[in-house]
């Protein structure tokens, strides 16, 4: 693919801006030569393989990916909306090119997959691959999500039994049930859900007479939020990570 098109696909601006970046000498390419030093490239139509290409654009290194599969450790006090009402958007935690990636068919740039409440922390996936977004977000696919829930009142055996048997929420007569519920401490459980209804964990705990005081999502599928990814940080997901995310137990 031409270097100017690669830059465009990665979110570095309009096609004209991207051509200009190259022609003005702002782009260097790690072409595998000369001891890991990037080499200048001013030919905006030079051809390169996109996936895995490493660039230095205006002094900043960039790894090229045809499709974006990202993990964000969502901190508290952020909204998953592109147009937040009260708190900063999770999108503001991504570098500018990831926020500016052009639309791919029906997907308008990088999207958060599902929503976490502003006060919920933990594992948030983001992507611009429509199929992957559907695969991870569709309730029909039953991807298990594990939430560490801190509660106001001690969780008793009857509450756990109710959560597993199913509780009725106010917007649907069909009961929703937890796929698993493990008591960790008197005020702490791991709750596994396979759907993602609005405020589902909070409403389920309220339905059994308790209250959520803290909520952290730490697992999806067989993929755990890495311990070395601090709140507010993001990273690219590897092929192995993607396998774990879609794996069925």
Which residues would be at the binding site for ligand URA (CB under 6 A)? 116-117, 120, 199-202, 215
Smallest gap from residue 198 Cβ to ligand URA (A): 8
| Closer residue to ligand URA (CB): 65 or 148 | 148
- Measured CA to CA, the distance from residue 3 to residue 206 in angstroms comes to 54
Q: Could you tell me how far CA 94 lies from the centroid of its own chain?
A: 11
Q: Which residue, 117 or 156, is less far from ligand URA as judged by CB?
A: 117
- Smallest gap from Cβ 40 to ligand URA, in A, equals 46
Q: How many CA atoms lie within 13 A of 92 on its CB side?
A: 11
Closest contact distance (angstroms) between CB of 184 and ligand URA is 18
**Minimum CB distance to ligand URA smaller for 22 or for 212:** 212
Q: Report, in Å, the least distance between residue 244 CB and ligand URA.
A: 20
Active site residue 117: yes
Catalytic residue among 117, 119, 156, 190: 117
Q: 125, 245 in Cβ contact below 8 A?
A: yes
When the beta carbons of 57 and 116 are compared against ligand URA, the nearer one is: 116
Give the residue numbers annotated as catalytic, written as ranges.
117
């Amino acid at each position: 693919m031409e270097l100017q098109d690669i830059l465009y696909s990665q979110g570095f601006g309009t096609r004209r801006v991207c051509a200009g970046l190259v022609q003005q000498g702002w782009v260097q390419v790690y072409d595998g030569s000369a001891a890991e030093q990037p080499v200048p490239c001013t030919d905006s139509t030079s051809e390169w393989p996109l996936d895995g290409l490493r660039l230095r654009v205006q002094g900043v290194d960039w790894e090229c990916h045809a499709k974006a599969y990202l993990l964000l450790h969502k901190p508290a006090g952020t909204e998953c909306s592109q147009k937040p009402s009260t708190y900063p958007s999770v999108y503001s935690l991504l570098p500018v090119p990831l926020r500016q990636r052009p639309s791919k068919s029906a997907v308008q740039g990088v999207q958060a997959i599902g929503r976490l409440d502003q006060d919920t922390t933990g594992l948030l996936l983001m992507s611009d691959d429509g199929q992957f977004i559907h695969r991870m977000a569709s309730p029909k696919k039953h991807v298990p999500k594990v939430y560490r829930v801190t509660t106001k009142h001690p969780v008793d055996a009857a509450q756990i039994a109710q959560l597993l048997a199913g509780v009725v929420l106010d917007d649907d007569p069909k009961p929703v049930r937890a796929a698993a519920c493990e008591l960790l401490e008197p005020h702490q459980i791991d709750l596994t859900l396979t759907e993602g209804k609005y405020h589902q964990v909070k409403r389920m705990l309220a339905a059994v007479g308790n209250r959520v005081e803290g909520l952290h999502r730490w697992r999806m599928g067989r993929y755990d939020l890495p311990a070395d990814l601090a709140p507010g940080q993001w990273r690219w997901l590897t092929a192995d990570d993607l396998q774990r995310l879609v794996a069925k137990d």
